[in-house]
Amino acid sequence: MTDTYKRAVFTAPGQIRFDEVPIPEPGPRQALVKVKACALCTWEQRMYSGEEHFYPLAGGHEVSGELIKLGEQVYTDAKIGDRVMASTLTRCGYCESCRRGMDNICDNSRKSFRDTDVPGPAGLAEYVLLEDYQLYKADNAAPFEEICLTEPLACVVRSVRKARVERADTVVVIGAGVMGMLHVELLKQSGARVIVSEINPERAAFAKAHGAYAVINPAEAPFVDQVMALTGGRGADVLFAAVSVAQAVEQAIDAAAKGGRIHVYASIHPRGTNISIDPNPFHGKEIVLTGTMSQDKEDVLEAVRMISWGLIDLKPFVSLVLPFEKLEEGLQAAMQPTTYRVVVTM
C-alpha cells in the first residue's frame, strides 16, 4: 500500500488540481474508506463551471467505497472490506437544528470538524476519512456505481416524504433531469399519478418511457392550462419544482388544487431571484408552499436500504462511468442536458 493518495481539488472555473496527500490514520470514532465510485452532482458541475465558487474546494459528496480501517470506539455493523456509502454531510448532532430533528440543515454543516488543508466533502479522491456517523453499510452485492447514488436518492426520499404524497394523488414534477426522474420513481412507488413538465424532447421521451402518466411541454402551451386540462380543472395535489428556474414556482402555485402543496426541491439560480405571489390562493385554496434541502440521517438509511435491497433500479440514471483520471471529461459530459448521472470510479 502506498502511503499517499490522489485527491481532486476545484481551484478556479474550469480548473482541477490533483493532489497527492498522505493516507490518514482514522482516529477515535473515525473510519477510513477506499473510494470506489463518486457521482458528479450539479453542485460539482457548478463549481467547475464557476456558477458557484468556494475555491479551493475538495469536491465529491456522492460517494461509495470499501471500509478499510476503523478507529477506536466506532460501533458499526460494517466489517472491514464491506461496501459502504459515505454520507459526507456534516451533522454536528448538538446544534439547535440537529436536536430538533433537522440534521439535514445542521447549523454547523459548513464548518470544518477535522484538520484539513482544503475544505469540502473530499469524495473525489482515492480515500476518504469519515466520522463514524457518516458511515452507512450497503449490501456487498450492490454495485458501487449505484451505492454512490444514495445521497441524491435520499434527498428525494425526504422531498417526497415531506410533501405528504398520498396514493392516487395527481402530482406534477417540473423538470425531468436526474432529480426530477428520481421523484417520478418514488412517486410511482407511492401510488401517485405523475405528470412531468419538460421542455427538452429527449428528457420528455425518457420520462414517458419511465412511467410518467403524461408529459407536458410548457413552451408549447401555458403550463397551468395543461395541468388543468389533465386534472379536470382541479389542479394538481402536489407540484415539485425540480428545476432551478424561479418562474416554475410561480406557475406551480397557479396550478395547485385546493389543499395542494408546492414543493421547492431545487435551489433557484441565480441566487436571490424573486417571484411575485398572489397571497389569496393560500387563503382561499389552503395551499402550502414549502421545500426541502439535502437529507437527514433517516432519509440516508432508507435510500441505502432501497439500493441494497433492489427496491429501486438506478441503472437508467447512470449515463456514463469513467475512470477518476477522466474527471474533467466527466464534468463536461455531466453538464449536457441529456446526460443523467456521470460516475467516476477509483
Of the candidate spans 36-44, 228-236, 271-279, 333-341, the one that interacts with Zn ion by CB under 5 A turns out to be 36-44
The minimum distance between CB 61 and Zn ion, in angstroms, equals 6
Of the candidate spans 50-58, 103-111, 288-296, 309-317, the one that interacts with Zn ion by CB under 5 A turns out to be 103-111
Of the candidate spans 13-21, 85-93, 241-249, 294-302, the one that interacts with Zn ion by CB under 5 A turns out to be 85-93
Q: Nearer to Zn ion by C-beta: 151 or 169? A: 151
> By CB under 5 A, what part of segment 141-200 binds Zn ion?
151-152
For residue 53, the Cα-to-chain-centroid distance in whole angstroms is 19
Q: Is 106 in the site for Zn ion (CB under 5 A)?
A: yes
The minimum distance between CB 155 and Zn ion, in angstroms, equals 7
Q: Nearer to Zn ion by C-beta: 97 or 217? A: 97
The number of residues in the chain equals: 346
In angstroms, the Cα distances linking 134 to 1, 2, 18, 21 are 25, 25, 24, 22
Tell which one of 16, 68, 92, 246 touches Zn ion (CB under 5 A): 92
Cβ atoms 121, 109 nearer than 8 A: no
Contacts with Zn ion by CB under 5 A: the residue count is 8
Residue 81 DSSP code: T
Of the candidate spans 12-20, 40-48, 141-149, 223-231, the one that interacts with Zn ion by CB under 5 A turns out to be 40-48
Can you list the positions of beta strands (E) in 61-102? 62-70, 83-86
Return all residues near 313 (Cβ < 8 A) that are at least 6 apart.
Answer: none
Do strands 30-39 and 15-22 pair parallel, antiparallel, or not at all (unpaired)?
unpaired
Q: Nearer to Zn ion by C-beta: 60 or 260? A: 60
Q: Is 105 in the site for Zn ion (CB under 5 A)?
A: no
Q: Nearer to Zn ion by C-beta: 169 or 296? A: 296
Sheet architecture: strand order including 193-197: 214-216, 193-197, 170-174, 236-241, 256-264, 288-291
The minimum distance between CB 106 and Zn ion, in angstroms, equals 3
Q: Is 242 in the site for Zn ion (CB under 5 A)?
A: no
Q: Is 41 in the site for Zn ion (CB under 5 A)?
A: yes
Q: Nearer to Zn ion by C-beta: 263 or 341? A: 341
Distance, in Å, from the CA atom of 342 to the CA atom of 18, rounded to the nearest integer, reads: 19
The minimum distance between CB 62 and Zn ion, in angstroms, equals 5
Q: Nearer to Zn ion by C-beta: 36 or 91? A: 91
Q: Nearer to Zn ion by C-beta: 151 or 237? A: 151
What's 134-166 look like in SS3? HEEECCCCCCHHHHCCHHHHHHHHHHHHHCCCC
Q: Is 95 in the site for Zn ion (CB under 5 A)?
A: yes
Distance, in Å, from the CA atom of 344 to the CA atom of 308, rounded to the nearest integer, reads: 20
Distance, in Å, from the CA atom of 66 to the CA atom of 264, rounded to the nearest integer, reads: 34
Interface residues with Zn ion (CB under 5 A)? 41, 92, 95, 98, 106, 108, 151-152
